[in-house]
Amino acid sequence: MPTHGPKEVLIRIRATTVSSADWRARSLAMPAGFGAMARPAFGLIAPRQPVLGTELAGEVSATGKSVSRFRVGDRVFAFADARFGCHAEYRAMPEHGLIAHMPANLSFETAAALCFGGTTALGFLRDKGNLKRGERVLIVGASGCVGSAAVQLAHHFGGRVTAVCSAANLDLVRGIGAEAVIDYKAQDLAAIGQTFDIILDTTGTAPFARCGQLLKPGGRLLVVLGTLAQTLGLGGPSRASGLSMIGGVPRVQPKDLELLAQLAQAGHFQPVIDQVFPLENAVQAHAYVDKGHKRGSVVLTVSKT
């Protein structure tokens, strides 16, 4: 049982997810150039954080004596991000950290899946990409957790979305807001002969060298999954071109969770859930996520004992 400080709440976890971050932390499979950083980041000889899980939904079971935002019994969702620790029955979170009240119309399973994809999509499209209404947005990897959130949020913010995924997922992405779809196995993305204001790449298959010609003047390539070189800006457009390539990791604020909750409550953002496993079957859930073909999120439910 974790202990909680005076400014923390203790959460009885009811659902969590197995994300691509859990897979990376466990496997140490990193994008090119990041390999040397994996062990220092995740643990030199043993996992730094043995309990994985980046996000959760549950009920507040105790509050520290200075806590005023939450009461025992409140239904909340939270994002632990790279601090992990959500594949568990309980987790303590700072009351002013990345934690928010759950929308009343959401299940624990859905609320648990709001943060990983939602905050990444928000951070890239809104903050790094400065998406404006009417802009054309190409989302590569649209059926994944980040991609399916990006399709919905880009559509909600007024973007005109073209989604890139495999044939089995074309209907899924059309159903969540894509106005056009491209099957990456049937068409060469680099040769589609269309241009976009924003390309958001969650797969590492649309680097500037291959897909730069798909950007309109002023276009932005948002590198959610990229190499160290790309993150450092190498191999991107020249300054004179007016194009930009932006990678890195979004800065998530507590108000981002409030926004995701509002959008979910209003039906503008519904996390796609692929499969739900009980926590006892976490091994199978991880094995499924490891294959790299999940649609949206894989959820773990934590039974109430």
Ligand X SMILES: NC(=O)c1ccc[n+]([C@@H]2O[C@H](COP(=O)([O-])OP(=O)(O)OC[C@H]3O[C@@H](n4cnc5c(N)ncnc54)[C@H](OP(=O)(O)O)[C@@H]3O)[C@@H](O)[C@H]2O)c1
CA separation for the pair 48, 8 (Å, rounded): 22
Binding to ligand X by residue 212, rule CB under 6 A?
no
CB 83 within 8 A of CB 46: no
Give the total residue count for the chain: 305
Least distance between ligand X and beta carbon 208 (Å): 16
CA distances from 153 to 236, 264, 305 (A): 26, 11, 36
Binding to ligand X by residue 147, rule CB under 6 A?
yes
Binding to ligand X by residue 295, rule CB under 6 A?
yes
Q: Which of residues 222-261 bind ligand X (CB under 6 A)?
A: 224-225, 249-250
Binding to ligand X by residue 184, rule CB under 6 A?
yes
C-beta of 24 vs 174, nearer to ligand X = 24
Looking at residue 130, its amino acid is N
Among 162, 203, 227, 230, binds ligand X (CB under 6 A): 203
Q: Tell which residue, 20, 92, 95, has the closest CA to residue 53.
A: 20
Binding to ligand X by residue 220, rule CB under 6 A?
no
Looking at residue 134, its amino acid is G
Of 8-16, 92-100, 135-143, 210-218, which segment contacts ligand X by CB under 6 A? 135-143
CA distances from 267 to 42, 71, 152, 168, 243 (A): 36, 26, 10, 24, 34
Among 4, 12, 220, 294, binds ligand X (CB under 6 A): 294
Q: How big is the CA angle at 282 (ends 261 and 85), to the nearest 5 degrees?
A: 55
Binding to ligand X by residue 293, rule CB under 6 A?
yes
Binding to ligand X by residue 54, rule CB under 6 A?
no
Least distance between ligand X and beta carbon 141 (Å): 4
Binding mask 80-119 for ligand X (x = CB under 6 A): ----------------------------------------
Spatial CB neighbours of 31, under 8 Å, sequence gap ≥ 6:
204, 225, 226, 227, 228
What are the residues binding ligand X (CB under 6 A)? Answer: 19-20, 24, 120, 140-141, 143-147, 164-166, 184, 202-203, 205, 224-225, 249-250, 292-295
